[in-house]
A and B are shown apart, each in its own frame.
Chain A
Amino acid sequence: MKYIDEYRDKEKILLLASQIKKISTKKIRLMEVCGGHTMAIQRFGIPDLLPDTVELVSGPGCPVCVTSRSYIDKAIAFSKLTDVIITTYGDLIRVPGSSSSLDKEKAHGADIRIVYSVLDALNIADANPLKKVIFLGIGFETTAPGSAAGIMKAHLAQLFNFSVFSAHKVMPPPMAALIDEGVDIQGYIGPGHVSTITGSYIYDFIPKKYGLGVVISGFEPLDMMQSIYMLVNQFETNKPKVEIQYSRAVKTEGNIKAQEILNEVFEYRDDWWRGLGVLKMSGLGIKEKYSEFDAEKLYQVDVEPTKEDKGCICGIILKGVAKPSDCNLFGKACTPSEPVGACMVSNEGACAAYYKYKRE
């Protein structure tokens, strides 16, 4: 397939593998921040191609995984309001809340619909003027501009039965928090899609302040191998910096238009991350100007007290401190069909990736 096969060329990949082996003398742990990378690494069996000196660990870049259970609980509470249609990306539908999940509520009769973009949600709002359509806005800088554009469109069209329940988050704060907490890593495989929007300059503080390299990577195996090579090379030559491997999509300054849309609608706020707790200015709330489209301001609901599952170690897996197979629940009490933690549900979750592709 054009633009895909080129990046799955076995010979080139094996050549890179041998070059990595050649230059890697010291132990190095690299964190792939993005859940899409976690999945690609396992799907293509990349760890098999790396020398013993190079270890990959998964990070906090799976939006569903880091989102609090109270968010799911509140979304479920919204779904029980009369005349409400919940619209959501497929990823969230099976994530367990404290006592239920969106797919269980759907089976009980709540009107919950999977959409592929915020535009689908707008169309549903337009077609159902007597219903209140709530879009579950989840994801990092990748999907946040989409939610923002949705709100701006609704504002323009006076579509007041549309609103967004934002759980949007931004990537740099957890990347800093992980290093501050002393997590043992020597470089970041930077998120590809997020950086398409934000540009690469937002990571400049990582080499400057912490002396760690960041290479923004594409999602194909050749991309990932090249990024690993670049990081190992930085580490071995002691020259940490921000580099863009995914140059066919990412520019230093990013997508200015998308950033403007995001800043028009959202403002930074403190937010809770699974494994990391509350991080300053790490979440995106809807500005006062657009409060008519903010589900949290529009609808008051009683939410059950949040219960996190005991024994689930999603939190430290998201920090790269433990691997999914270190969890006592993994593959036993917690499987994709009966997930305990969010990391087992999401397509991008580390536990789901391990379960699907790597279980021994």
Chain B
Amino acid sequence: MRNNETILLGHGSGGRLTHDLIRDLFVKYFKNEILQTQGDSAILNFSNDKLAFTTDSFVVDPIFFPGGNIGNLAIAGTVNDLAVSGAEPKYLSAGFILEEGLSFEYLEKIVKTMAEEADKAGVQIVTGDTKVVERGKCDKIFINTSGIGTLFPNTEGIVMGDHIQIGDKIIINGYIGDHGMAVMSARNNLKINSNIISDCACLNKLIEKALQFGHDVKFMRDATRGGLGTVLAELCEHKSFGINLLEENIPVRENVRGMCELLGFDPLYVANEGKVVMVVAKAYADKILSSLRQHPLGKDASIIGEIVEQHPGRTWLLTSIGGKRIVDMPAGEQLPRIC
């Protein structure tokens, strides 16, 4: 396999090259007993637990950015989707679509990152697939991961926020907008040296800390594409409660704010890859906050708002200067402005 420095169409042929690629790259890095059997399916052992199951596909330009690469994203994205559903992530699949001509060095780096990230999160990659498409038919590498986890007790209703009540508090585990702006600044056509690093991380260990409080964590969602603003606008849409957000409590780094100002972006709608929004019972909010802050990924956690009776269905931002405005879902991608 090492005779080739780039991915060839033959690597997706199902023949010798494919076989070598799987053995010398994927199985080598993702090694675990289940994957090593290399059967058509992974056979998993579960007792009578309730399962959570999710899937996500990852495309990002550029594939390497400050703070990570598409590999971290592919693991963290799926792990976090399971974790915010109240599940303990257990097993992942990994499907790769590779563009003919992709450098082997890049692919290996990405696969290695995936293995490390999975290890940190305590999950195993137990099955996978590889396809190679002609040059120009995909952009370097697309990854799909699916994941299975077992639900923790007392987490029913957490996905939809069924038990949310007036007075509940809203918590975020740290600075928003880092990932989106890190990727923006890494794009070739934007010559900005911002020192912004993606927040990409698996949140399952952090979330476990909050789940000790059982029913008092009433809703969780990872604020990825669309950002914090979209998560909250979505959460209260068609509901009998509203949300008040306090702008001054929402953590935004200086350089992220600066770059957003420059491009005319609103950090509320910028993507994150390591941020969880929680709605928690008022009485336990401080306790949950301090337990989150004990974890490195939650050290900047903050209570940023609350569930209110007023303006049902709408999220309002109380601005840092004492005004207020709506936080709604954005129509599409944020576009840089003229002046």
Contact = CB atoms under 8 A, between A and B. Distances in A.
* Bound pair (A, B): yes
A127 B261 CA distance: 30
B190 interface: yes
A36 B324 contact: no
Interface stretch (A89-97, A155-163, A245-253, A304-312): A89-97
Contact of A120 (B189, B266, B321, B332): B189
Contact of A143 (B258, B261, B321, B339): B339
B180 to A, nearest CB: 15
Given A90-B337, A94-B332, A348-B337, A48 B326 contact: no
A143 B326 CA distance: 30
A90 B335 contact: yes
Contacts of B322: 10, 13-14, 45, 48-49
A241 B1 CA distance: 77
B116 interface: no
A45 B323 contact: yes
A139 B338 contact: yes
Interface string B294-338: 000000000000000000000000011111111010111001111
Nearest to A62: B338
Contacts of B266: 43
A1 B339 contact: no
* SS class, residues of chain B in contact with chain A: loop
Contacts of A355: 328
A45 B323 CA distance: 4
Interface string A187-208: 0000001000000000000000
A359 interface: yes
B320 A8 contact: yes
Contacts of B189: 115-116, 120
A43 B330 CA distance: 14
B167 to A, nearest CB: 24
A60 interface: no
Nearest to A194: B339
Given A1-B257, A347-B264, A48 B338 contact: no
Given A44-B323, A48-B322, A359-B328, A93 B335 contact: yes
Given A1-B258, A36-B339, A90-B335, 9 more contacts: A8-B320, A10-B320, A45-B321, A46-B321, A91-B338, A114-B335, A120-B189, A142-B339, A221-B321
Interface of A: 1, 4, 8, 10, 13-14, 36, 42-49, 63-64, 89-91, 93-94, 114-116, 120, 138-139, 142-143, 193, 221, 335-337, 346-348, 355-359
* Closest 4 pairs between A and B when the two form their complex, measured CB to CB: A45-B323, A336-B331, A90-B335, A357-B325
26 contacts: A1-B254, A1-B257, A4-B257, A8-B320, A10-B321, A13-B322, A36-B339, A42-B325, A43-B266, A43-B325, A45-B324, A48-B323, A49-B323, A64-B338, A89-B336, A90-B336, A91-B337, A116-B189, A143-B339, A335-B331, A336-B330, A337-B332, A356-B325, A358-B325, A358-B326, A359-B326
Interface of B: 189-190, 254, 257-258, 261, 264, 266, 319-326, 328, 330-332, 335-339
